[in-house]
Chains A and B, each alone.
Chain A
Amino acid sequence: MKIKIFYFARLKETLKFSTEDLELPDDAFANTLTILKLKAHLAKRSDVWQQMLMGKLKVRGAINHALVDDNALIVDGDEVAFFPPVTGG
């Protein structure tokens, strides 16, 4: 399965990634990939990724422009985003 991921604010700045296209093996993830699983998968990249995605920063996830919780299911073609709690207004 293929997904697109966006990173914002502190995550974008620290990870030095604003967006990426990610291909995941179907046998490992198809129909079972959640926001939490994706975070854990990405966190394996390095200590910085681990800290940013699984650390004390309360990362929020969105799928196709809608805020979702950690258990939300991601499917092929989804646009996923990770960002810190919002601070607009």
Chain B
Amino acid sequence: MIYFDNAATSWPKPPCVVEAMMHFMAEVGANPGRSGHRLAVEAARVVYGAREAVAQVLNAPDPLRVVFGANATEGLNLALHGLLRPGDHVITSSMEHNSVMRPLRVLARNGVELTVVGCSPQGILDPDDLERAIRPTTRMIALIHASNVTGTVLPIAEAGHIAREHDTLFLVDAAQTAGAYPIDVHADAIDLLAFSGHKSLYGPMGTGGLVIGDRVDVARLTPLKQGGTGSRSEHEEQPGFLPDVCESGTPNAVGLAGLAAGARWVMARGVEGIRAHQMALTEELLRGLESITGVTIYGPRDAQRQTATVSFTIAGMETSEAGLRLDDDYGIMCRVGLHCAPAAHRTLGTFPAGTVRFGLGGFSSTEEVATAVDAIAALARKAS
């Protein structure tokens, strides 16, 4: 069985992640930040540990400005709905996931001005195009760090520089990169970074969030939800400080126990080391697929310029059939279709047929890549 769906969620998880969750369920268990007893305090320590671990992976200066939510989607929605107002202008790219495009379509119906900057058919964004799109009313630039379809890495350092120069906020969707690709929130001038906890940070599903930089005026940030925070309990008004303003209700403390362990595991291996391992595998996969007649690869086809996610099609075989055969006949699990990213597929020229996506992960191996390449070669032969 070969799991090549790590771009959807990483699996398996490091053993320490499952152990941390079990330990939490058995020995801690209490609601963090509500009561003052020993288990509640220990639970709060666990949650705070997750803030520190995530901040460390991303080089975010203040762990209290790491806010947690259910997933990267919630982090993106918090940034977009929380900060954009009618009359504001926002710029995004044509490679975005629906977690950015769908909130932006709602905002655009309600008076936010939206510019979608086109990318090349490889999914590559030209920073000059971005800069040309800026207007006096531009309040935010929102970019995916790496495409969930082709793995194409967007030039976020340049984009951050442009945003800073034009005094506009810079939001990065790091769902595909946090933990797998070097990110420096501080050096890259990132004001808002949405992350997934359950992909390359190796935590469980149910974790993710938003890193909020100090250029973001928290008084202007409207949370998606209000409720009990364990703070300012005398007041029927939401507290105004981070992280509480954005974290109403009981947090997913057991999930965050797992995320803390996952992020520490990433730090112990080193993001650079993980990246080097994945680049090598991606290179092998790209070269293997390129050698097969009838296979078309999308994206940069260059491991230096993409994550360990590779999209392709097989001549004469629908992606849905390829997905079914890979699962049934070869035990290879991947994701076919449009990957919740219709804009990206339009950019790549693969709409509406979609692609077959292999998402490699931290536990993928050279042997798995070779087996998968052989399977694709066999399918391509049959289809031709």
Asked if A and B bind, the verdict is: no
